[in-house]
Amino acid sequence: MDADLSHHPKFIPAMIREMESGNFDVVTGTRYRDGGGVSGWDLKRKIMSKGANFLATLLLRPGVSDLTGSFRLYRTSVLRDIFPSIVSKGYVFQMEVMVRVVDRGYRVGEVGITFVDRIYGESKLGAGEVWGFLKGVAWLWLTTPE
| pLDDT 10s digits, 13-47 | 999 999 999 999 999 999 888 888 888 788 988 89
- Give the domain range for residue 84: 9-143
Q: Is residue 22 part of a domain?
A: yes
Residue 1 lies in a domain: no
Given a contact cutoff of 8 angstroms between Cβ atoms, the answer to whether 67 and 59 are in contact is: no
In a domain, 84, yes or no: yes
Task: List the chain residues with pLDDT less than 70.
Answer: 1-6, 8, 118-126, 146
- Separation between Cα atoms, residue 70 and residue 120, nearest integer Å: 19
Rounded distance between C-alpha atoms, residue 18 and residue 110, angstroms: 8
Residue 4 lies inside a defined structural domain of this protein: no
Element (H, E) at 73: strand 72-74
pTM of the model: 0.85
